[in-house]
Amino acid sequence: MAAFKAILADEQVLFVEGIKLVLEQMENPQVEVVGIAGTSNDLFEQLKEKQADVLLFELNFQGEDPVNLIQKIKLVNREIKLLVLSAYGEIKLVRSCFNSGVDGYILKSNDVNALKAGITSVMQQEIYLGDGLMLSPAMYPDEPSSITLESNPLAKNDRFVMRQNLTNRELEILEMIVKGLNNRQIAKELYISDQTVGVHKKNIMKKLEVNSTPDLIKTVEDNKLI
């Protein structure tokens, strides 16, 4: 059987180089790495230039929403198999990725056997869900659940986690707050009540752990959330 051709995409260069070495040493399946991308722009260039069977990629690219990223990838190459290899395993995120069309999802904490199984499964037209991941909450209290964004050790001051914890409406309101609009102006723009804007703003501040509008704006700017 000919080797599967793969593109690797992750902002962590050392991690990508390590995965490349692992893949090149595999015998079953055999994998040939034909492209490496460290930014989303690099990724789309590789997708256009290289003929690849599978894309192994992290979701956390600067300025990219995970679902939008997946949709943009599929617009460039609808045939390539998508295998997420991520540090993030929150149920909502994993489910949204599968709903958007990924073929497999593996945590970076999984071992080489999971990587082999993931590549083999997606290339056989199967869906693959790595160890420690679930698509719905545990049915029983004692049943182990997947990693949550809040419990992830990477979560503190992590831009990706911060954005994932905010709803689309909250991000919309946050952008208006940063532009200097007050609650009444935001309410008029979105055709909602001042009180509703106030509730959203309170939730945003709670999620970002700030107590004032100036601190909120500083957090947004420091972490480039908008």
Answer yes or no: do 112 and 170 share one domain: no
d(C-alpha 100, C-alpha 219), whole Å: 30
Residue 157, pLDDT score? 54
Q: Give the pLDDT confidence score for residue 103 in this predicted structure.
A: 96
To 10 degrees, the CA torsion angle through 123, 73, 105, 58? 130
201 contacts 173 by C-beta, under 8 angstroms: yes
115 & 180 share domain: no
Burial 134-162 (b: 16+ CB within 10 A, else e): beeeeeeeeeeebbebeebeebeebebbb
218: containing domain? 166-223
What is the per-residue pLDDT for 226? Answer: 82
Q: Is the peptide bond before 66 cis (omega within 30 degrees of 0)?
A: no
Q: Using N-to-C axis directions, what is the helix angle for 168-178 and 183-190, rounded to 10°?
A: 130
| CATH code, domain carrying 207 | 1.10.10.10
One domain for residues 108 and 172: no
Joined together, the tokens standing for residue 63 give: 């300025």
The pLDDT, as a whole number, for residue 137 is 67
Residue 47 lies in a domain: yes
Q: Please tell me the distance from the alpha carbon of residue 41 to that of residue 46, in angstroms, as a whole number.
A: 9
pLDDT in tens, the chain (226 residues): 689 999 999 999 899 999 999 999 998 899 999 999 999 999 999 999 999 999 999 998 887 889 999 999 999 999 999 999 999 998 889 999 999 999 999 999 999 999 999 999 999 999 999 998 988 765 444 544 444 444 444 344 577 778 878 888 999 999 999 999 999 999 999 998 988 999 899 989 988 889 999 999 999 888 888 8
19 with 78, same domain: the answer is yes
What is the total count of domains within the chain?
2
For residue 61, what is the domain's CATH number? 3.40.50.2300
CA distance 132 to 90: 10
- Minimal CA–CA distance to 79: which of 125, 130, 19? 125
Within 13 Å and on the Cβ side, how many CA atoms surround 224? 5
